[in-house]
Amino acid sequence: MIRLFQRLLVALTLALTLAACAQLQAEWSSDEAVAAARHVHGGAPELTLVTILHRDSGRGEHTSLFINGRERVLFDPAGSWRPEGLAKRGDVIYGMSKGVGLSYYLSHVRETHYAVVQRLAVSEDVADQAKALALANGAVAAGRCASSTSKVLRQLPGFETVRSTFFPQNLMRSFAEIPGVQTYELHHDDSDVRLKAWRVQEPLSVVALSDG
């Protein structure tokens, strides 16, 4: 009986390992697809940390990072959002126009969840470095959205105080301590939620770089 149990345990472990490996097989769009999807957003370069929280418990359930530099992309580690027709490498999604961004926000903001959006103007070099780090990070395993995002942020100049964490709400609070962060909330029962999700993506003024 013990040997049978051990065999079953080994088989289950192997199955879970293979499933995890299959889940982490990164999509890697061609250079042509990435170039075609490229979206230049304009305004000051910025990083936008998005935290999805449960309305009743306040528990953070997902973390993602919009990166706006020479182009606008989304680092959506271990995310379930699957846009059609957009280029993707690892967990970095290209072509993040305001319309695509609106789709992202509205797919997460619903009766049970709301979004906290934290925007921060950065230099173009920092935005480029964030994108490179997100790409180098590859596909992220389930449950590691906050840890992978905090790992990327902590390697950037000016973000050394961001704490390493597995919990989205903790990363949100740590990010809020950086001077210059602008914070917004999106709730599904707000009659203007679509408009707010659109406006929260308006390019930051270049002046914002000197305001912080």
Please give the tally of structural domains in the chain.
1
pLDDT beyond 70 at 126: yes
pTM of the prediction? 0.86
75 beta partners: 65, 92
pLDDT in tens, 161-192: 999 999 999 999 999 999 999 999 999 999 99
Full residue range of the structural domain in which residue 184 is found? 2-211
Proportion of the chain in helix, strand, coil states, percent, rounded to 5: 40, 20, 40
Q: Which two tokens stand for residue 64?
A: 């993602």
pLDDT in tens, 105-115: 999 999 999 99
| 176-89-67 Cα angle (round to 5) | 25
Q: Which two tokens stand for residue 146?
A: 């906050």
